[in-house]
Structure 1
Amino acid sequence: MRWDRFFEDLEGQLASEWEAERAALDSEAERLRLSKVALRERLVQLIGGDAPGSALSLDLSDGTALRGRVTGVGADCVAILPAEGRPGAVVVPLPAIAGIGMPHHDLLRSARPAPARSALADRLTFGFVLRDLVRRRAGVAVHMSGGRVFHGTVDRAGADHLDLALHDPGAPRRSDAVTGHRIVPYASISWVRVEGTTSVL
């Protein structure tokens, strides 16, 4: 009788140690997985968060706190539909993000393993989005990391800069309405609001 109890106790201890070791291995594997997750991958998990209270708060390099929901993620930028302010989609280069506030359930959701995405989505760069705006002739507000804002239309988008025709917000780009031109390096852009659209990625 005593030996039966002894072996049952021993078996229970071994099972308990095995479970503890397996939990430790699972925890270590999860820490290793998370150490390889990039900000872009976390943002991908947040696309389409329509639930009430699921709006993110992005702190940007120009000091702006932008509230909204993620509508798309490119190779080096994120598209946001703002919760307030002027209508229009916003494109933010990832290096311009200083921090992101969100509800705890979204924070946990963003850390889950991401589903496979199309190779095309991984190639949509900030420059690609700006070149699409050239084609659309959409009015934009370019917010610089120093705090200045330029309104106009993107005439050309190069590898690392854009040409902006300056005109009043909401006005179409006509030669008589253009008040000047600027070359703007992408590295100095904090975010771009695109007038009259809710989708840019």
Structure 2
Amino acid sequence: MRWDRFFDDLEDQLASEWEAERAALDTEAERLRLSRVALHERLSLLTGRDAAAPVISIELSGDTTLRATVTGIGADWVALQPVEGRPGALVVPFAGIVGIGMPHHDLLRSARPAPPRSALTERMTFGFVLRDLVRRRAGVAVHLTTGRVLTGTIDRAGADHLDLALHDPGTPRHADAIAGHRIVPFSAVAWVRVEGSAPIL
């Protein structure tokens, strides 16, 4: 009888050690997985176009903090819809993001494994989305990393810069309304607000 109890105790001890070792391996595997997670993956799990989309607090270059929902993700940018303030979608290059605040349950949800990205998403760079704004002739407010804001219409978007025709917000791009032109490197852009309510892409 004592031997039975001894073997039962030994079996329980081995099972406990096995469970502890498996938990340690699972924890290490999870740490390894998390070490490979990119910002775009976390933001993609917060994307939504409905009322259930989580509201995040996003800190941007130029000392700006906005409350918004994530509506789209590109290769190196995120599309946001502000929940307060002026209407208009925002396009933010990842380099313009200083920090992101959200409730803890959304933070944990964003760390789950994300579905694989499509090849199209990988090709939709910040320049790609700006070229779409050129095609649409959309009025924009380009917020620079210095805190300055330039308003107008993007005439061209190159590989690493844009050409902006400066004019007052809300006015169409006509030759007599143009106050000047600027070449703006993408590295100087903190974020872009697009006039109107049309979604980005």
**Would the TM-score normalized by the shorter structure come out above 0.5?**
yes
Per-residue deviation, 1:176: 1.0
Q: What is aligned with 1:148?
A: 148
Q: Partner amino acid for 1:2?
A: R
Change in CA separation of 1:150 and 1:174 when aligned onto 2, cut-off 3 Å:
same
Aligned residue for 1:46, secondary structure, equals: coil
In 2, Cα distance between equivalents of 1:19 and 1:190: 49
Per-residue deviation, 1:197: 3.0
Q: What is aligned with 2:99?
A: 99
1:113-161 CA distance string (max 9 Å, x none): 0012211011100000000000000000000000100110000111111
In 1, Cα distance between equivalents of 2:101 and 2:147: 21
- TM-score (normalised: structure 2): 0.96
In 2, Cα distance between equivalents of 1:58 and 1:179: 32
Q: What is aligned with 1:23?
A: 23
In 1, Cα distance between equivalents of 2:27 and 2:49: 28
1:131 aligns with 2:134: no
Q: Which runs of no fewer than 5 residues in structure 2 stay unpaired? A: none
In 2, Cα distance between equivalents of 1:138 and 1:120: 23
Per-residue deviation, 1:54: 2.4
In 1, Cα distance between equivalents of 2:183 and 2:149: 14
Q: Which runs of no fewer than 5 residues in structure 1 stay unpaired? A: none
In 1, Cα distance between equivalents of 2:19 and 2:72: 41
The question of whether the paired residues in 2 share the 8 Å contact of 1:50 and 1:69 is answered with no
Per-residue deviation, 1:51: 5.5
Q: Partner amino acid for 1:77?
A: W
Aligned residues: 201
Q: Partner amino acid for 2:181?
A: H
Q: Percent identity at matched positions?
A: 73
Higher mean alpha-carbon deviation, 46-55 vs 156-165, is at 46-55
Per-residue deviation, 1:24: 0.3
The question of whether the paired residues in 1 share the 8 Å contact of 2:53 and 2:69 is answered with no
In 2, Cα distance between equivalents of 1:121 and 1:45: 14
Q: For 1:49-128, list aligned pairs within 5 A.
A: 50=50, 54-128=54-128
- TM-score (normalised: structure 1): 0.96
Q: What is aligned with 2:6?
A: 6
The question of whether the paired residues in 2 share the 8 Å contact of 1:91 and 1:193 is answered with yes
